[in-house]
Amino acid sequence: MFFELLAAAAKDAAPQNKFGIKEALLPEGGEPNWIGIVTLVILVVMLFGSLFILFTKYLEQNKIMKQHRAMQSSFWRAPSLREGAAKLDKDSAWRQIVDDGLAAEDQHAKMVNETDAHDWLHGSLARSEHSINSYLAKGLPWLATTGATAPFIGLFGTVVGIYRALINIGIAGSASIDKVAGPVGEALIMTAIGLLVAVPAVLAYNFLQGRNKTIANLLTGFSTDVLANINSKGAVRPAVKAAGAAKPAAAAPAAKQ
């Protein structure tokens, strides 16, 4: 009981001055700091937008890579591309490339000569790759823009906070701590928030961009195999390891004569 009374007395005796971000943006008995509020809202929107793009794009990339691993063990074992495509998911990027290649093959009879037919098939598959890569790249400009601009938006909040601190000093006629602590604290918090938003956005952009390049390389290789298979009428196809095939045993040393 004694300690509770002592704590309550100390709490009542302690000054209740608050200089947090809430008090800086919404001061009691004063006008709301609308510039600071808008700046903070913009940074929060950029942060949550970056996190949303990071998680959604990561899941999309994982799905495509998982489909690629599943395709390697089943697609090229089929007797024809059409039968192999039937084993792939309908929303698969790999199914899209095969379907576009088969559609181009059905139309290549209208080409004047074989060279035109080859160019038509190659262009059709290239367009299919480009559409998939463009889909995977959606959202990355947001991350790049956030990483480039968030520190400057936070710096803008910093400048506004320092400006408000100078105004308070001019009105009060003295640089007392209670006049400048709030605006200066707001300025420092805005700088920190700007960096907090920018750094994850840059890291997420580089991470997703690297995985997109890996997927693009896989798409190019698969597209090349499909093109070769179509042009050779099914004769050319990549080698496929037998499922569960054991590794070849090392050759035993020759017996001495």
**DSSP at 239:** -
What's the CA dihedral at 80, 83, 87, 92 to 10 degrees?
80
Cα distances (angstroms) measured from residue 149 to each of 43, 146, 158, 198, 200 = 10, 5, 14, 8, 13
Q: What is the tens place of the pLDDT at every residue in 214-226?
A: 999 999 999 999 9
SS3 content of the chain, % helix, strand, coil (to 5): 75, 0, 25
Q: What is the DSSP letter of 110?
A: G
For the chain, report the end-to-end CA distance as a whole number of angstroms: 99
Q: How confident is the model at residue 255 (pLDDT cuts 50, 70, 90)?
A: very low
DSSP string covering 54-93: HHHHHHHHHHHHHHHHHHHTTGGGSSSHHHHHHTS-TT-H
Whole-angstrom Cα distance, residue 37 to residue 111?
Answer: 63
For the stretch 141-198, pLDDT in tens is 999 999 999 999 888 887 877 777 777 667 666 656 655 666 666 677 888 888 999 9
Residue 17 is predicted with a pLDDT of 47
